[in-house]
Amino acid sequence: MEVHAENFLRPSPSLYNVRRLQCHHEFSVHAVGLSLGSAAIDEEHLERVAGLVDELQPGLVSEHLSWSRLGNAYFNDLLPLPYTEEALDVVARNVGRMQDRLRRQVAIENPSRYLEFNTSTLTEAEFLDELVRRSGCSLLVDINNIVVSAHNIGLDPAEWLNELPEEAIVEYHLAGHALNEADGEVVFIDDHGSRVSEAVWLLFDDVLSRFGARPTLIEWDTDIPPLNVLLGEAERARRALARAEMSHAALAA
């Protein structure tokens, strides 16, 4: 199970429920507001996240390859950054600072993309690969975000996966997306408001065959359905993971 760090940075009765659930489930803490692509990390925000991580001691901690802050202004979105050497220096420095303060490795998640920068000199996967090398971070591979980006900007999922460092991958995310049509163009929107699409399930099977099973989370943040729907999605993910583990065991035998 996963909690968003920013929901618990101040005293909250709901944190008591998280502690109760920790008795039965492994947890990850997923931060969404540290803005690792900004020129400098917000030290006050980092201190609050570190306090939560110290208290919960989760199995995994993650953040996004994005930015969402300019000075004291915060934006309610995970904004893209150009994949350049300059941006890589900034993100690697901020990830290093985050890991130093948390005293643990942090997993960085690939974002959903709706545009590309003309100034980019690296592919996204090359950027992530080099970020792992420079900072020692791990990777959270969001399968839905790959599908969304593939549709919106013409990304080739197979090429993207070929460039990833397998040993750095520690977690997978699965989610649904929305289709938004404007001026005759269809854009995929990463809204976490529906079932995981068949395209995402198919790519998940490919990812599992390449890299093997990892802790996997179904994200569903809006238009929350009945519990049996959520459990059905989780069960489908468990079956895919079980098939992958059996396949890898058979190959190793």
At residue 231, the pLDDT reads 96
The 3-state DSSP class for residue 33 equals coil
Angle in degrees, CA 215, 161, 1, rounded to 5: 15
pLDDT per residue as tens digits for the range 16-48: 888 888 889 889 999 999 999 999 899 999 999
Average pLDDT, integer, range 194-204: 97
Average pLDDT over the chain, rounded to whole?
93
pTM: 0.94
At residue 135, the pLDDT reads 97
Tokens 């006050």 belong to 44
> Which of the four pLDDT bands, split at 50, 70 and 90, describes residue 183?
confident
For domain 2-174+213-219, give the CATH number. 3.20.20.150
> Which of the four pLDDT bands, split at 50, 70 and 90, describes residue 15?
confident
pLDDT per residue as tens digits for the range 144-158: 999 999 999 999 999
At residue 58, the pLDDT reads 95
Give which of 98, 160, 102, 167 is closest to 132, Cα–Cα.
Answer: 167
Does the pLDDT of residue 74 top 80, yes or no? no
Does the pLDDT of residue 209 top 90, yes or no? yes
